[in-house]
Amino acid sequence: MAEVRIKAVSKIFGDVKAVNAFDTVVKDGEFVSILGPSGCGKTTMLRMIAGFERPSLGEIWIGDELVSSAESGVFLAPEKRSIGMVFQSYAVWPHMNVFQNVAYPLTIKNLNKEEIARRTNRVLGLVHLDGYAERFPNQLSGGQQQRVALARALVCEPRLLLLDEPLSNLDAKLRESMRFEIKELQRKLNITVIYVTHDQSEAMAMSDRIVVMHQGVVQQIASPVDVYETPANETVADFIGLVNFVPAELTADEVIFPSLGHAVKRDNACRGRARVGIRPENIALSKTETGLQGTIVHKFYMGDATDCRVAVGTETLRVIAKGDGFREYQDGDAVWLRLDKMIVFPVGDKA
C-alpha cells in the first residue's frame, strides 16, 4: 500500500498544456478515479504516475519515495516504482497460456519455480480464474482476458495499482459486473488504486473520491455524493449525470425562472443572474393541477422509469419519473411539475 502525492504537476506538449497544475494526495488504500471526457488529460496524468511520461513541472511521490521531479531532474523508471498497471487493451500474450501470462513478471525476476507457482496460483484464485491456467487467450472471453491482465498486474504485490479504462472494451453487462469485482478485490487486498475512466457510472460506483478533469484542469475532487449533489461548477454538473440548465434571477427569498414563467421560494445567499441545474429525477411529474404546467413532447419507456421531454414556457425539460403510474402518460398530455431540488450557479452577483 502507498500514499501518492502529486504536487503541481503539469505536462506540456508543444503549445498544448495537456495537464495543468494537477495537485492532490491519494491516501493509503484509497480508490480514486480520474474522470473526464476524451482529451481532458486523465490518461496523461496516469502515465506520469506510472513513469511512462515525464512531468514538465511538479513532483510525484509514491510512499516516501520521490519518483518524478521536473525541477530536480529525478525520474525513476516504471519498473522501479513497484506499481501494477492494467491497460485499456488487455495486452495479454497470445502465445502464452494464462499461467505463463500472469507469471511473466515473476519469471523475469528469476524467482524460483515454487515461489512463482505459489504466487501465480494465489492471484488466479483472487480473480476467479482457478482452473483456467492452461488455457490460451483465444479460448477466453473478453472479461476473462481482462482478469488475466489484472492478475498479472497484482502478482508482484505492487504498492499501487493503476488502471487505464480497463473495462471500455467489454459489453455493458460484463462491464457492470467487472466494476464490482475490481472494487471487491481492492477491498480484499487493501491496495491503493488510481483508476482512469470517461464512464461516470464506473467512477460513481467504485470510487472513494473522484477527480473530475476538463481540458487539462482539475475541476473538483470530492466523494461521488458531493460531486453529484454539490458540483463545483456547471462543467462538473453537466458531465456527471443528467441535468437541465435554466436561466434564473435570484432574489433574497426566491429563484425566478423567466423562461418558465415560474418562481420557487428559496433563501439565496447571492443576488442577481444565475444558471440553475435541475436533475431530471428531481422534478416531480403529475396530472394534479398544481405547480408548474407543461406539456409532454415525447415520452420514452425505459423499463424501470419513464423518460419525458416536457415543454414548459420556452424551455423543454427532461424529467425521469419512476414507477408504473407514468406508463399511461402520452405525448401531448398536460402535466404539472414540481422542482424538488436545484443547483444554483450565480453568474452575475449584485451587492
Q: Are residues 177 and 253 in the same domain?
A: no
What are the cell numbers at 189? Answer: 487486498
Query: Cell for 296?
Result: 409532454
CATH classification of the domain holding 25: 3.40.50.300
SS3 state at 294: strand
User: Do residues 281 and 260 make contact, with C-beta atoms less than 8 angstroms apart?
Assistant: no
Task: Select from 208, 239, 270 the last residue of a domain.
Answer: 239
Whether the full predicted model's pTM is greater than 0.75, yes or no, is yes
* Spatial contact of 217 and 10, defined as CB atoms under 8 Å apart: no
Q: Residue 168 corresponds to which amino acid? A: S
Which three cell numbers, joined as nine digits, stand for 312? 414548459
Strand-pairing partners, residue 230, are: none
CATH of the domain at 342: 2.40.50.100
Q: How far apart are CA 212 and CA 34, in angstroms?
A: 6
Give the bridge partners for 318, in sequence order: 309
Residues of the domain holding 185: 4-239
Q: Which are the contacts of 81, defined by CB distance < 8 A and separation ≥ 6?
A: 50, 51, 62, 67, 160
Question: How many structural domains comprise the chain?
Answer: 2
Tally the residues of the chain.
351
131 plus 176 within the same structural domain: yes
CA 208 to chain centre: 11
The arrangement of strands across the sheet holding 343-349 comes to 262-265, 254-257, 244-250, 272-278, 343-349
Which of these three, 211, 239, 267, is where a domain ends? 239
Quote the crossing angle between the two packed helices 113-126 and 172-189, to the nearest 10°.
120
Determine the pLDDT at residue 91: 81
* Residue 173 sits in the same domain as residue 267: no
17 plus 160 within the same structural domain: yes
Neighbours of 298 (CB within 10 A): 12
Same domain, 297 and 179: no
Q: How confident is the model at residue 311, as a pLDDT?
A: 98
pLDDT of residue 349: 46
Backbone angles phi, psi at 316, to 5 degrees: -120, 115
Which of 51, 43, 48, 151 has the alpha carbon at shortest distance from 92? 151
Q: Which residues contact 296 (CB under 8 A, 6 or more apart)?
A: 308, 309, 310, 311, 329, 330, 331, 332, 333, 335
**What pLDDT score was predicted for residue 351?**
36
* Residues 138, 71 share a domain: yes
Last residue of a domain, one of 239, 258, 283: 239
Going residue by residue through the chain, which has 351 residues, state the pLDDT in tens, using 9 for 90 and above.
689 999 999 999 999 999 999 999 999 999 999 999 999 999 999 999 999 999 999 999 999 999 999 999 999 999 999 999 998 877 889 999 999 999 999 998 888 999 999 999 999 998 989 899 999 999 998 889 988 999 999 999 899 999 999 888 888 888 888 888 899 889 988 999 999 999 999 999 999 999 999 999 999 999 999 999 999 999 999 999 999 999 999 999 999 999 999 999 999 988 999 999 999 999 999 999 888 999 999 999 988 899 999 999 999 999 999 988 888 899 999 999 999 999 999 985 443
Give the burial string for 328-343 (b: 16+ CB within 10 Å, else e).
ebeeeeebbbebeebb
Contact between 333 and 286 (Cβ < 8 Å): no
Whether residues 133 and 252 fall in one domain: no
Question: Do both 95 and 136 map to the same domain?
Answer: yes
65 in the same domain as 196: yes
Contacts within 8 Å (CB) and 24+ apart, 66-73: 68/9
User: 266 and 220: one domain?
Assistant: no
Distance CA 339, CA 118 (A): 59
The shares of helix, strand and coil residues in the chain, as percent rounded to the nearest 5, are 25, 35, 35
My answer on whether 78 and 198 are in the same domain is yes
Q: Note whether 176 and 226 are same-domain residues.
A: yes
Question: H/E/C letters for each residue in 226-266?
Answer: HHHHCCCCHHHHHHCCCCEEEEEEECCCEEEECCCCEEEEC
